[in-house]
Amino acid sequence: MGISLNPQHLKRYKDIAVLLMKYGRFDLVKNAGLEAVLKDEIEFDHAPASEARALAEDFEALGPTFIKLGQLLSTRPDILPASYLESLSRLQDKVEPFSFAEVEEIVTSELGVRISKAFQEFEATPMAAASLGQVHRAVLKGGRAVAVKVQRPGIRGMIVEDLEALMEIASLLDAHTEMGRRYEFQKVLDEFRKALLRELDYKLEADNLCVLGENLKEFDRIVVPRAVDGYSTSRVLTMDYIRGKKVTSLSPLDRIELDGAALAEQLFRAYLKQILVDGFFHADPHPGNIFLTDDKRLALLDLGMVARTTPGQQEKLIHLLLAISEGRAEDAASVALQIGDKREEFDEK
């Protein structure tokens, strides 16, 4: 069996094959028909062993698509051992910024006006640079402080090509390996593809900020930045500038001055409302996306990834939470079975 070699994906086939070899999965390389792309560049039966922490570095080296894929895999204890999950959970979505000349070109093209005409101030050095885009502090003509997220040049095309190569390999693994049949890699990748392409549409994120801000307006200790109408497109997102710091960077003194219990209570209640009442929730609440503002509130940032719950799902989740809180283990297990997807080898007992 051989893989259908799309010439534009050859480098990615090789990158993925080398990664699988490095972590001792020659069986997957062979069954997916990837031996041909390696040729004599690596000794198949002498692949170097690697520690779990190196996996995150390998994903970073492969670029934005694999950084995001690594973050997804960090939530899948059914696929990877705990040590690998821990390594990938610390995967840093930080890369070198792109030039201000490119920022100017993208913003001007998207907004239809030069930066100097649209903004009173616009800092050339980004506040943060990630794999999909970077954020610049700016001030609108009326004096409103904003953060402007600008999408990385050419990133959409790069991600689409990577996803095509990954999907081709996933289809072969699903068809020809026991691991593929068990974990259904195509389904995992399809959900990943949908989420990632939505994350690349900043207009969707602007809408998400609006919806979540309205839904959570009753919580006085939680803030969601507002998007600026007329200054946001699919590749540029302009929103309120939030003064504060990541919750992971708080000093011991910061923590002493905080009413941490009240903040945690509101955050917990806000998520219950999002999932069980509104059916619309912030689906990527890792610590890097939650800021402590200067006025001691919690800001929910980065609404590129959201999810929804249907009334039927909400009802089951409520039953599950009640069963857990009341110690009814059998009932909790029964509801969990209704929510999940059972596969052939599933041990219900």
* Whether residue 79 is found in the same domain as residue 210: no
Give me the pLDDT at residue 48, please: 43
pTM exceeds 0.75 for this model: yes
Number of H helices, E strands in the chain: 16, 11
- The mean pLDDT values, 10 residues at a time, for the chain of 349 residues are 60 81 74 68 45 81 87 80 81 82 97 96 94 95 97 95 90 84 87 92 97 97 96 97 87 85 95 97 83 94 92 97 96 92 73
Q: Let me know if residue 344 belongs to a domain.
A: no
**Angle value at C-alpha 27, between 26 and 30, nearest 5 degrees:** 80
* Whether residue 24 is found in the same domain as residue 86: yes
Q: Let me know if residue 54 belongs to a domain.
A: yes
Identity of the amino acid at 207 = D
Give me the pLDDT at residue 61, please: 85
* Whether residue 174 is found in the same domain as residue 83: yes
Give the residue numbers spanning the domain of 47: 7-94+159-198
- Number of structural domains in the chain: 2
* Whether residue 114 is found in the same domain as residue 42: no
Distance CA 262, CA 276 (A): 21
* Whether residue 234 is found in the same domain as residue 262: yes
The answer to whether the CB of 270 falls within 8 A of the CB of 282 is: no
**Angle value at C-alpha 302, between 282 and 79, nearest 5 degrees:** 65
* Whether residue 49 is found in the same domain as residue 181: yes
Residue (of 75, 109, 79) closest to 89 by Cα position: 75
* Whether residue 140 is found in the same domain as residue 235: yes
* Residue 3 exposure: Cα atoms within 13 Å on the Cβ side: 29
Give me the pLDDT at residue 4, please: 57
The answer to whether the CB of 52 falls within 8 A of the CB of 87 is: yes
Q: Catalytic residues, which ones? A: 284
Q: Let me know if residue 336 belongs to a domain.
A: no
Distance CA 28, CA 179 (A): 9
* Whether residue 50 is found in the same domain as residue 139: no
* Whether residue 281 is found in the same domain as residue 177: no
* Whether residue 130 is found in the same domain as residue 53: no
* Whether residue 135 is found in the same domain as residue 164: no
* Whether residue 193 is found in the same domain as residue 208: no
**Residues in a beta bridge with 134:** 129, 150
Give me the pLDDT at residue 110, please: 97
Q: Let me know if residue 349 belongs to a domain.
A: no
Identity of the amino acid at 318 = I
Q: Is 124 helix (H, G, I), strand (E, B) or coil?
A: coil
